[in-house]
Structure 1
């Protein structure tokens, strides 16, 4: 797993580097530490943070590279991912400007929308990675979310919960109103499309030798995902931002962005 860890020298970026190190140390693959200078006079602060992170990782990461770019953080990170192939990008969630519902142009939100590489957006202070929540919409593309979550879980020894929310409004034309009332056990045993995908998700985790379980909640999709993340104190929430069309694409993008904005814990956005 080739990882890009990014910093602008802010405290939130420092938390992202610390959390990202939990994965990087276990992955033992190539890691690039990218410092982005958005304003004149920031080079010393950014260099200091890059050096501290490098010193902390050097014993566990055999292939460690440090790069510095100048410009807008989101644009420079996107350029870096276009010029070099990465499997995972790790950033902080707030930078200096903050990230709110009214600031979708912020670095983290722009990366969540436009980056073609999975982006881990670190929020808050998490000192371990032992409990992962995967949010599935019951589609084939969602298997990428489960597979990447499983790979990370295998590295860190984490447990994975695959969550499907039965909404009052079906996100897929194939969904039946009767299916929206299913319990976890009933859905797993049913011939519903969502049940088949949950079974496939659990099979993916089993093949990766990762402990996993399925869970179903009922209600508004975003509200239930955020509630589940808080109720079981997950260390990481995994959500997809997959290519779709029409209304479904709009709804899925909106759900993913809302999770990024409103979650109090790290969010991994997978394409």
Structure 2
């Protein structure tokens, strides 16, 4: 059986939304759901008496049990038949959930938890796990359109292949259409030396468009052959990459993106496109890391 879906629980409204999404994903996959609460004492207001890392001390056990009971109730409302287990662990949430990602098929977190600053659009835990999680990480944000398609950000790079595989599998599980969006532009091209011939500029742009269309087709064709029941719309757009993807996410039920694409700087774990979607997408975002590249 496939590994369980894991979800971070901290009692915030954002984490309860994540629990609902995680339960739905577990139900689709036919696997169990793990509710993970990291007992990170620096961020908690603990009652006096006893070491701060002891969850069994007066008041704290009741607090943790109540948080997990509420989360489990939410999970069973969404997917009544899944197996739900609880995991209470002492440690920093970032580290605990990163470890959980090693044995989970999917890790789900809210976009902001109890420890996030009010002015931040994305909490530190979600940002860290999107970059370093060992399995696909689903960050629940925005407002999902349950009737909308899945949106796949295609960049044509080898590092993006796991995201393509995940998107096709997820579309099949949900019975949803898949929009594969590849955005290209010429603004990042180096300026030519000497006078510019307008005819050459047009020819170069058309040649580049053909290359990008070929890259999109080559990326999708093998997966469409292996999953013929998934309806795919290939969409090639000449625009700025980040604004185009964010705008396209308005009608989507989920955006799927890799951690880094062709334009990512070497050494960066999470690319600028992934970061932009995590901060500004209008629906949940799944970030799929390429383990071979890292």
Tell me, which stretches of 5 or more residues in structure 1 are unaligned? 172-176
The answer to whether the 8 A contact 1:100-1:261 is kept is: no
Aligned counterpart in structure 2 of residue 131 of structure 1, from 145, 149, 169: 149
Q: Answer whether contact 1:99 1:261 (CA < 8 A) is retained.
A: no
Deviations 1:198-227 (A, max 9, x none): 343144134222111110122211111111
The number of equivalent residue pairs is 256
Which position in structure 1 is the counterpart of 2:68? 47
**Among 193, 203, 223, the residue aligned to 1:204:** 223
Structure 2 residue ranges without an equivalent (≥5):
47-59, 190-200, 290-294
CA distance in 1, matches of 2:239, 2:104: 36
TM-score computed with the length of structure 2 as normaliser: 0.75
Please give the secondary structure, in 1, of the residue aligned with 2:252.
Answer: coil
What is the match of residue 7 of structure 1?
9
User: Is 2:44 aligned against 1:22?
Assistant: no
Separation of aligned partners in 2, 1:108 and 1:255? 16
Shift of residue 79 of structure 1?
2.3
Counterparts of 1:165 and 1:156, CA distance in 2: 25
Counterpart of 1:267?
285
Tell me, what secondary structure is at the counterpart of 1:94?
coil
| CA apart distance, 1:195 | 1.8
Aligned counterparts of 2:119 and 2:186: Cα–Cα separation in 1: 24
Residue in 2 that maps onto 1:215: 235
- Seen in structure 2, the aligned counterparts of structure 1 residues 125 and 64 have a Cα distance that, compared at 3 Å, is same
User: How far off is 1:107 after superposition?
Assistant: 0.8
Shift of 1:110: 0.9
Q: Does 1:75 align with 2:77?
A: no
From 140, 144, 150, the equivalent of 2:158 is 140
Cα 1:11–1:195 shift into 2, 3 Å? same
Structure 1 residue ranges, 4+ long, deviating more than 6 angstroms after superposition: 99-105, 177-180, 243-246
2:292 match: none
Secondary structure in structure 1 of the residue aligned to 2:151: strand
Which of these two proteins has the greater Rg computed from alpha carbons?
2
Measured in 1, the distance between the counterparts of 2:273 and 2:267 equals: 10
Task: Describe the SS at the equivalent of 2:271.
Answer: helix
1:151-193 alpha-carbon deviations (Å, 9 max, x no partner): 111111111111111123459xxxxx8798569xx95xx4x26
Distance, in Å, in 2 between the alignment partners of 1:109 and 1:93 is 8
In the TM superposition, what is the alpha-carbon distance from 1:242 to its structure 2 partner?
A: 4.0
Partner of 1:174: none
TM value normalised by structure 1: 0.80
Aligned counterpart in structure 2 of residue 155 of structure 1, from 153, 158, 173: 173
Answer with 31-40 or 19-28: which moved more: 31-40
**Equivalent residue for 2:245?**
225
